[in-house]
Structure 1
Amino acid sequence: MHIEPAGACALQVLLDEPPSAALSARLAALAQQLRQWPGIVAVVPAWDSLLLHYDVMQADYHQLVERLCPLLSQLAALEPQGAAEHDTAREHCIAVCYDHRLAPDLPWLADSCGLSEAELIAKHHSARYRVGAIGFAPGFAYLAGLDPQLAQPRRATPRTQVPAGSVAVAEQQCAIYPQASPGGWHLIGRTAQPLFDPSAQPPSPWQVGDRVRFVAIDYATYLAQGGAP
């Protein structure tokens, strides 16, 4: 475990434990507790780290570190299987259309993985995923649980514009682009479900530790749900 400054008004906790669903759940619970501390502006848990932003007029770095250390010692002592047995994480069901018009990388990825397109699609939506981190863009959730056979390096040349709702994979992860943005992941489908609304509370449906599953739909159903062609 290591704690270090992250700018003038933030600190980062780096853990030695490898990323896992159990660790994500424990970090999410710790983040919820830390949000109640005076002077804390935001807490951002990730795969194996936690970023804590604080108001320098109300909190002091060294005092925060002193308070954090006992909590982190307790976090490391927790048994991962206990969290799994009492899993109360929310589950999100995302409808995905894998049509070629929305999945430009599907043929290439299937060929690279030694699979037919139908086999790749089945492997993708039959897996069960966990939100391990949220970042890159507002509402962009990094999902663990991708079938190892679908793991491929990111694109050598990122796209300058990826449509909102694009379902993508890269390395050992899956993600959905909540807004149109640049991106270097492989696009294998798209959802019509909105995943970030700045006027809503909360603006994003995701929380670290949430479970996610995908359901395949056809192109007509995708359009009927409000998806963009």
Structure 2
Amino acid sequence: MNSIYIVMAIMFAGARRWSRGREPRFRTELGRISYYFSKDEAEKAIKANATLKSEESKSVYRYFLREVPAGEALYDGEYKREWVYDATGKLLDHTLCSTCHCDIHTEHYIFGGREPEQIRFSAGDIVEWYDGYGSVWLGVVVGTPYTVGRCREMYETLRRSPRFAGLSDDKITFPLDFSDDSYLIVNTENYMESHVHVSSHYVSAPTFPVPQNLLKRLASCFKNCADE
């Protein structure tokens, strides 16, 4: 199946600092969108734009490179793979499985875990995450994505369950998908109120310095969650 590669430039919008208030964030907006017939072409375009000295290129927060299948009816936001780059064109992270409905019954839809070196943050780390709707939020990591080893353990437990007794491996459906490739993050003391599951590639180190009072509050949020 042929693919189309879409490059989306996400731009800073408004003040380039953390907002005041209970849930610090900064705003972004969608910039230019361009389309390519290969990933190589798309990456070259990202790197070329990243080297420009224009005001537009200086306003880039992230580049998202999205692979979508040609000739398929897709729901909003679906993709086979997605890669995220910083404003300099450096690759930060990428997805490991498809979100497309056309892939649901294929191996491309299954999340089989991340290698330890692919998990960039640990519990207690202060991070920011892009919500896909124009805001970047500040928070603290409470949980990390499953590792490959952990997913294997889960699969073996599944195989031994009475539900799948007598079935061959190809008949056993592993229940993890793209939604499980995520970090668990909080940004207030109330876990139930503020916890979010964020796609791994949407999480990164804070763009702007974090004021000391915010660092203390987020550390307190993490401690509260750890104690619960």
TM range (shorter): under 0.3
User: What is the TM-score with the length of structure 1 in the denominator?
Assistant: 0.26
Structure with the bigger RCO (C-alpha within 8 Å, sep 6+) is: 1
